Amino acid sequence: MKLFNNLPMLSFSTVFRKIVLPVLVFFLTGSAFAQNKGNETNQHGHAGKKVTSKGSVVTDPKVAAVLKEIDERMVRVDGGTFSMGCPTMQDSDCYYWEKPRHTVVISTLFVSKYDVTQKEWKTIMGSLPPANTCDECPVINVTWHDAYIFINKLNQLSGKNYRLPTEAEWEYAAKGGNKAHGYKYAGGDVAMEVAWYDSTISKTEHPVGEKKANELGLYDMSGNVWQWCSDWFDEKYYSKSPSNNPQGPTVELQDKVVRGGSWWGPMKDCRIANRDKFGPNAKDDDVGFRLVRN
């Protein structure tokens, strides 16, 4: 009791100012902090539940439908060993940067049945680049960096790990994986049956899936639009490429790899072995991309 007896007498105003008011402020600010934390802005800039490793909470039915569509269009490609590069005895159009032919091992992955479409891009990104006019046509006029902006947003929404294919993964899938029949083009030896190119009735891109699929059920691996790969382009890379899941040059170069040919180019560009290059900041009306994931 001596402790309390020695305390000075405090006025009501002093008690309120020094004791009651700080307690009230503590509880009020703590409550507001808790509420704001629960509504913390997520990675998309929208107030609401934070993005987790399982993906964002998607409330827009159109976005949910496209996420489901993209997922359902992924085709399992079982891993295996194949000969990468131009088979000179079969293909008279070989370029020196398609050689030497070398053995590559690819792990199992999933590859999208079609190129990313304009509908899918617009739904995920909110708008389309110029010159895109057909919902089921491949998205075009996107740079390599644009493709990864789309992929990053798609991954945030879906909680999955989509990416661009490596050049080796692309060629393995285009050839038909472990079901390959050794075709010159993706799906056959007659280019017109599997590809849109400049000699077909084609002066623009076409909706995906109109030509014959390859052995794995993948469409437009040859023709329609060029497809971005993740690798930097090195014309001498095949002579030093590792055999197990090659990722391309480890140093930054000038161009990225594009594969597959397009509606604008010649038939020989549609050969599976053909490889070309394009600056990562460049875009064109015959360049798009497709997705893979492990």
The answer to whether the beta carbons of residues 129 and 122 sit under 8 Å apart is no
How many percent of the chain have pLDDT more than 90?
Answer: 76
- Whole-number Å distance between alpha carbons of 232 and 249: 6
Q: What is the widest separation between alpha-carbon atoms in the chain?
A: 106
- pLDDT band of residue 205 (cuts 50, 70, 90) is very high
* DSSP assigned state of 209: T
Tokens of 129: 């680049």
Q: Among the listed ranges 24-28, 86-90, 129-133, 262-266, which one has the minimum average pLDDT value?
A: 24-28
Whether residue 16 is predicted with pLDDT greater than 50 in this model: the reply is no
Tokens of 247: 């990722």
pLDDT of residue 54: 67
pLDDT of residue 15: 39
In one letter, which amino acid is 162? Y
Whether residue 11 is predicted with pLDDT greater than 80 in this model: the reply is no
Mean pLDDT for 240-262 is 97
Whether residue 197 is predicted with pLDDT greater than 80 in this model: the reply is yes
- Whole-number Å distance between alpha carbons of 148 and 136: 20
Whether residue 47 is predicted with pLDDT greater than 50 in this model: the reply is no
Whether residue 92 is predicted with pLDDT greater than 60 in this model: the reply is yes
Whether residue 96 is predicted with pLDDT greater than 70 in this model: the reply is yes
Q: Among the listed ranges 10-24, 54-68, 197-211, which one has the minimum average pLDDT value?
A: 10-24
Burial readout 60-85 (b: 16 or more C-beta within 10 A, e: otherwise): eeeeeebbeebeebbbebeeeebebb
Mean pLDDT for 164-181 is 98
Provide the β-strand partners of residue 185.
Answer: 188, 271
Whether residue 24 is predicted with pLDDT greater than 60 in this model: the reply is no
**249 versus 31: which is more confidently predicted?**
249
Whether residue 50 is predicted with pLDDT greater than 60 in this model: the reply is no
